[in-house]
Amino acid sequence: MECASAADKMNSVERTRRGWSDLARLLGPQDLVWLLLFFALALVSPTSSPAEFQLLGTLAVWQVIEPRIPILNTPRANVASILFKLLLGYLLLGVSGGITSSYFLILLVPIVSAATTMGAGGTLLVVTGAAGSYVSYLLFLDFRHDVIPADQARELCLRVLFLGVFAYLIHQLGAASRAQARRYQNVAEQLAAANQSLQEAEAAVRRSERLAAIGQLMAGLAHELRNPLSTMKASAEVLAKNVEGENQVARELAGFIAAEVDRTDSLVTRFLDFARPLELRRSPTDLTELIDRAVAEFGRRQPPLEVAVYKNYSPDIPPLPLDAELMQRVIFNLLVNAAEATPSGGAITVKTRPAPGVVEIAVIDRGSGIDPAHRENIFNPFFTTKPKGVGLGLAIVSKIVHEHGCTISVESQPGEGSVFRLLLPIATAS
């Protein structure tokens, strides 16, 4: 039994120690100072009534827990909290002498809260309410017997005016602090924007360096491949002409060689198109006609009824100085990309609309979407998720778009489709 009693006592001491430790973690140094000050006020009070202790304790606890209640961070809740403090101060004056109470300065608590969180109008209303609540205790005097001497009347006026002076000073300090906080926030936002721009510029430089190196490599490789490909195709054609007619296998193999050489030559051409510098031949171009040609070319190259293309054009787009051939290729490649992501029988929408300072072209599909992990790489050369893809289609699109001084972006959700947006600046295009 003695062992059990000793163990219970140790557990009790441990729980008490943990309780004080948890309380110390919850309360900061400023909270402890605040509680000690209110405790000291209660100790030195000349009246020291239980109601006075309760009101002081309630006001002290409210000041400590108020910042920790998220719901009180709203403007309406803040007003309610200030009114609650004003009520506590008014009641404290009532139980400690009314108009003669030494606690008249307790009205500065709601005034300071208002001056630091509200504007000039709100602060003025709170000051007026605090002064009015204090002066209202004059109504409890019997002026048939109670007389206020001149010096005490002046003291009463000084107390009321002191509340206004203190409120104005705190409001000025609060306004200066808020203005400084806004300046710091603006500077932080500008630094964040500058840092973002710097990161984008660095990424663009790295991308340009990679593309330049890849372009030089592809140009040299494509040039070296062209000659043997020409020899292979010519040899296949000669072989097909000279082989005996009944040797169908040899003729078929010669046809395979020629077809694969053509496919490889087409791939080499795409490499060269990506590698060589673009020379834009701009001319005033009707955007609607350009997109119609791209859609018609797309229709000729796609199996019938595989996907449907819907057009949603704005009639308010003026002619833009573009390289029509290259921009048509951009729209065509985006249509092919959308078709490859769209199931058979699905639909693609091509939409144009004017926006502030730009003309937007959107190619919208409801296909498989793009994995978020791949979204930043889809415009890089040789990046592809298709088994037989080369990874040059969107890279060429990006190159042509940027050569025009335009921007391209993509919005996509896996399983919901993608939206490729081209933004053509009107200011630089007109």
Q: pLDDT tens across 148-186, in order? A: 777 777 888 888 888 888 888 888 887 888 788 888 888
89 Cβ neighbours under 8 A, 6+ residues apart = 59, 103, 106, 107, 109, 110, 130, 133
Out of 128-142, 169-183, 216-230, 278-292, the most confident range is 278-292
> What is the predicted pLDDT for the residue at 8?
56
Residue extents of the structural domains in the chain: 2-147, 204-275, 283-429
Largest CA distance in the chain: 140
Buried b (16+ CB within 10 A) or exposed e, 123-147: bbebbebbbebbeebeeeeeeeeee
Give the pLDDT confidence score for residue 361 in this predicted structure.
93
**pLDDT value of position 429:** 42
CA 297 to chain centre: 39
CA gap 416, 429 in Å, rounded: 33
Q: Tell me the mean pLDDT in the region 370-383.
A: 76
> Of residues 251 and 290, which shows the higher confidence score?
290
Task: Confirm if 283 and 321 have CB atoms less than 8 A apart.
Answer: yes
- Backbone conformation region of residue 384, classed left if phi is above 0, alpha if psi is from -120 to 50, else beta: beta
Q: How confident is the model at residue 5 (pLDDT cuts 50, 70, 90)?
A: low
CB 364 within 8 A of CB 283: no
Copy the structure tokens of residue 158. 């000084």
**Average pLDDT estimate for 310-316:** 91
Q: How far apart are CA 298 and CA 391, in angstroms?
A: 19
Q: What radius of gyration, in Å, describes the C-alpha atoms of the chain?
A: 40
**Where residue 430 falls among pLDDT bands split at 50, 70, 90?**
very low
Distance (Å, whole) CA 74 – CA 146: 45
Looking at CATH, the fold of the domain delimited by 283-429 is given as: Heat Shock Protein 90 (3.30.565)
* Residue in the block written with tokens 């840092």: 195
Could you give the C-alpha distances from 214 to 272, 276, 306, in angstroms and in order?
A: 11, 11, 35
DSSP 20-79: HHHHHHHS-HHHHHHHHHHHHHHHH-SS--HHHHHHHHHHHHHHHHGGG-GGGGSHHHHH
Regarding beta strands 358-365 and 417-425, do their DSSP bridges make them parallel or antiparallel, or are they unpaired? Answer: antiparallel
Q: Which CATH architecture has domain 204-275?
A: Orthogonal Bundle (1.10)
pTM: 0.46
How far apart CA 143 and CA 373 sit, in angstroms, is: 82
pLDDT of residue 127: 86
Mean of the pLDDT values across residues 8-36? 60
Q: What's the full length of the chain, in residues?
A: 430
